[in-house]
Amino acid sequence: MATEDIDPRFSDLDSWNTAEALRALYQSQVEGLAAVGSALPAISAAVDAAVRRLRAGGRLVYAGAGTSARIAVQDGAELAPTFNWPRERVAFVIAGGEAALLQASEGAEDKRDDATARIAELGVAANDIVIGLAASGETPFTIAALEAARAQGALTIGVANTPNASLLKASDHPILIDTGAEAIAGSTRLKAGTTQKVVLNLISTQLMVSLGRVYRGLMVDMRPTNAKLRRRAARMVSTITGAGETEAAQALATADGDIKLAALLARGLQRGAAEALLAKHDGSLRAALDEGARSAS
């Protein structure tokens, strides 16, 4: 496995001064990021396929062990506060369970039956998307999770850093990020882990964009649950509609903090009409504003 190889460029890393070592480690990370570019077509295809199932009510399910599991949980956990993605539509299949997120449970990655049981426990079905991550692409737990999910008709996406990996073969949408050997052999928390996070950033962000949860670069489905976020929400409404700060805040209050609804209210629509317009366009603020503008003219 390439991720386990020794990169001769870094064989004297422990003898270099701090500045030299950090520059070398930084360059290794940059090389990893460059490898993501060649995978963009595969990532795009996976997102397009996933959007259709999420529109039908599916869930995002992340599967992994060790470093990959921790990266997956970070991505999935941030969807609710960032995009107001329903918490019940995100799930995790973690080798060793939640305890392994804080304390390594290395033997858990070999337990295929645990992965199969977790997929069954979650009731993974045809509209769900299961994303499995493993740098080596040979982690038995993660492969078993994808195989079990695929058997239930779920869409499977595999992200690995090793060519010809079993994880990729077990996926409907294989995504290879060929990062090669690490600066410290086998330490895939380095560039392999970095690139996995980048790939998940790309997938989850574009999913939310495609599902209408972003408008003109703004997180319009965000829920303003504290003072900072309420100020941000008011700025969004003001930016979108041209309303003053007071008017934007009033619209948000009337809309119970719903930024999309508040933007339509600030444009002069009544609440019932605004809600109907958003429902008609599956929550797309852009489409709702466009129709509203056409109706007004």
In this structure, what token pair is assigned to residue 259? 């930024």
Q: Residue 60: beta bridge partners? A: 90, 129
Q: Which residues contact 254 (CB under 8 A, 6 or more apart)?
A: 262, 265, 271
Q: Is 109 considered catalytic here?
A: yes
Structure-derived torsion over alpha carbons of residues 52, 55, 57, 58, reported in degrees to the nearest 10: 40
CA distances for 68 relative to 106, 113, 235, angstroms: 12, 19, 36
* Catalytic position from the list 109, 147, 182, 275: 109
Q: Yes or no: say if 267 and 292 are a contact pair by the CB < 8 Å rule.
A: yes
* Catalytic position from the list 78, 138, 247, 291: 78
Q: Yes or no: say if 136 and 105 are a contact pair by the CB < 8 Å rule.
A: no
In this structure, what token pair is assigned to residue 17? 């001064």
Dihedral of alpha carbons 257, 259, 264, 267, sign: positive
Closest of 146, 180, 171, 217 to residue 8, by C-alpha: 180
Q: Which residues contact 285 (CB under 8 A, 6 or more apart)?
A: 212, 215, 220, 240, 260, 263, 264, 278
Q: Is 275 considered catalytic here?
A: no
Please report where in the chains the tokens 């050997």 appear, as a residue.
181
Residues marked active site are found at 78, 109
